[in-house]
Amino acid sequence: MGKKRIIQKTDLTTEEGIASAIKATSPKKKIQEGEVHIQSTYNNTIITITDTKGNVIMAGTSGSLGFRGAKKGTPYAATKVAEFLGEKSKVVGIQKFNIFVKGVGAGREAAVRSFIAQGFDAGFIRDVTPIPHNGPRSPKPRRV
């Protein structure tokens, strides 16, 4: 049969795991300005970094860093995702961000604070959460 191969999965929740993942990604082009799109739901936080035209450069979720279940929607998980993507974007050369926040989850403010605390220049912070103007059609009256 032969030897069994054991695949070692890197743990991205530790500092060494984040550093190894950043070194593995080589930047394709240098960009000075970009946009951060933070989608925060009750169950997860998804952060996408794009250039000013909207082309995706990198993305990350709290689930991709190893958080599972209810821990994915916490502010701590959102902070870790923002730190991870912040370090990766420093390698690419991004210095200024425009931040777009969408959703009602717990990680929205934590992710924004984490990006600003890392020393990035925030152009503006805009809330783009969809708001219904009239809502769906109301149900018909009940006949008794």
What is the tens place of the pLDDT at every residue in 19-44? 565 555 545 667 889 999 999 999 99
Residue 132 identity: P
Give the pLDDT of residue 37.
96
Does residue 46 lie in a domain region? yes
> 95 lies in a domain?
yes
pTM, two decimal places: 0.76
pLDDT of 1 over the 80 cut = no
Q: Which domain holds residue 72?
A: 31-127
Is residue 40 domain-resident? Answer: yes
Sign of CA dihedral 83, 19, 87, 22: negative
pLDDT per position as a tens digit, 110-144: 999 999 999 999 999 999 999 988 888 999 999 98
Residue 133 maps to a domain: no
Neighbours of 17 (CB within 10 A): 16
Choose between 88 and 14: higher pLDDT: 88
> Is 24 contained in some domain?
no
Q: Is residue 21 part of a domain?
A: no
Structure-token pair, residue 102: 């969408």
SS3 96: strand
Residue 20 lies in a domain: no
Q: What CA–CA distance (Å, rounded) separates 17 from 65?
A: 10
Does residue 12 sit within a domain? no
> What's the number of domains the chain is made of?
1
CATH classification of the domain holding 68: 3.30.420.80
Query: CA of 19: how far to CAs of 70, 87, 143, in Å?
Result: 26, 9, 64
